DNA sequence: ATGACTTACAGGGTAAGA
């Protein structure tokens, strides 16, 4: 029985973030992953497609509703929901009206507030791209503070382009000048967490080397020389529901795969530790019962 | 080591990624 479908009284959600590196050119791999892993909610980054090029119908045929921010050639983010239509509540990060890059979208799905983000890479540094990264990060920190306090169950999921600590990289030697592990980048991430966000993977696997990205160079995938840069952050309302977290590394091993792998969490329907009355039954009209065969 | 790989856009070679 699938982990995320253990019965009506223990309904669970699997939520994933995946930088697919081009949704048009790798649609077959996205659909294969959706079919095999059946995530309930998916945050996608680097669509590299305009709105008109977004494969809405193919995803619909696979059972997923979607909201997205397209952009020609680069960036682009989307939120998918199985057997449901995400309700978009925000597109674009507040704080700079002149920023037109497609890097942020927010939607309500399954009782969660889901923020999907694609933080700027920032290379080369120093330089204007790194300045943009840090400025974007500051806007995220400001906005995240309001989300943290909102009382909603919130997840901030996406490609953060930050290696939080040296445990999150195979070896720092050839990355010391890279924007992904600059002290300024890491300090922003630390300040974000300090608002009370839980880094899901690290909370459940405090000492393990877990990677979500392996670059195309020098056989880094073959040698498992990876980075952990895709993160799922839970606010204090949602964190008690965290059950498990991991990375679907098999996707990275596919021929022609994205350089990232889908990174996921499973959330319980009700808080695991908190002593409180059961939440009222969820409205599950559109949610089909377990129906897939294990791939 | 302005590197290596890979994509989008275009229809060659540049920009961008991380």
Buried b (16+ CB within 10 A) or exposed e, A95-126: eeeebebbbbbbbebbebbbbbbbbbbbeebe
A180 touches strand B (CB under 7 A): yes
Q: Which nucleotide is nearest to A218 (CA to C1')?
A: B4
Q: In the annotation, is A159 catalytic?
A: yes
For chain A, strand residue ranges (E) read 12-19, 41-45, 64-69, 77-82, 87-91, 104-109, 112-118, 154-159, 198-199, 230-234, 242-247, 263-268
Q: Which nucleotide is nearest to A255 (CA to C1')?
A: B6
Task: Please indicate whether residue A269 or residue A54 has the higher confidence score (pLDDT).
Answer: A54
pLDDT, one tens digit per residue, over A58-71 is 999 999 999 999 99
Q: What does the pLDDT read at residue A269?
A: 87
Q: What does the pLDDT read at residue A271?
A: 65
Q: Which nucleotide is nearest to A121 (CA to C1')?
A: B18
What are the extents of the domains in chain A? Answer: 2-272
Is it the case that residue A228 has pLDDT exceeding 50?
A: yes
Q: What does the pLDDT read at residue A272?
A: 62
pLDDT, one tens digit per residue, over A130-170 is 999 999 999 999 999 999 989 899 999 999 999 999 999 99
Q: What does the pLDDT read at residue A273?
A: 57
Q: Above pLDDT 90, what percent of chain A?
A: 85
- CA–C1' gap, A215 and B5, in angstroms: 8
Q: Which two tokens stand for residue A102?
A: 């497609």
Is it the case that residue A2 has pLDDT exceeding 70?
A: no
- CA–C1' gap, A52 and B10, in angstroms: 18
- Top CATH class of A2-272 equals alpha beta
- CA–C1' gap, A53 and B8, in angstroms: 13
Q: What does the pLDDT read at residue A11?
A: 83
Is it the case that residue A281 has pLDDT exceeding 60?
A: no
């Amino acid at each position: 029985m699938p982990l995320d479908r253990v019965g009506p009284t223990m309904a669970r959600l699997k939520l994933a973030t995946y930088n697919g590196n081009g949704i048009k050119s790798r649609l077959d791999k996205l659909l294969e992953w959706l079919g095999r892993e059946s995530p309930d909610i998916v945050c996608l980054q680097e669509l590299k497609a305009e709105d008109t090029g977004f494969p809405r119908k193919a995803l619909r045929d696979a059972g997923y509703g979607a909201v997205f921010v397209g952009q020609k050639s680069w960036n682009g983010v989307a939120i998918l929901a199985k057997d449901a239509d995400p309700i978009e509540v925000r597109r674009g990060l507040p704080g700079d009206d002149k920023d037109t890059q497609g890097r942020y979208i927010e939607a309500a799905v399954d009782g969660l507030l889901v923020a999907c983000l694609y933080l700027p890479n920032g290379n080369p540094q120093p330089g204007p791209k790194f300045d943009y990264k840090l400025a974007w990060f500051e806007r995220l920190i400001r906005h995240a503070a309001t989300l943290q306090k909102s009382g909603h169950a919130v997840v901030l999921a996406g490609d953060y382009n930050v290696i939080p600590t040296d445990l999150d990289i195979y070896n720092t030697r050839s990355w010391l000048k890279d924007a992904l592990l600059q002290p300024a980048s890491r300090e922003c991430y630390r300040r974000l967490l300090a608002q009370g966000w839980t880094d899901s993977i690290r909370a459940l696997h405090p000492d393990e080397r877990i990677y979500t990205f392996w670059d195309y160079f020098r056989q880094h995938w073959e040698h498992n020389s990876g980075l952990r840069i895709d993160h799922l952050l839970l606010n204090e309302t949602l964190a008690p529901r965290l059950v498990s977290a991991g990375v679907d590394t098999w996707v990275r091993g596919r021929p022609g795969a994205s350089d990232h792998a889908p990174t996921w969490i499973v959330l319980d329907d009700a808080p695991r530790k908190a002593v409180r009355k059961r939440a009222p039954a969820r409205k599950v009209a559109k949610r089909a019962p377990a129906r897939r065969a294990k791939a």
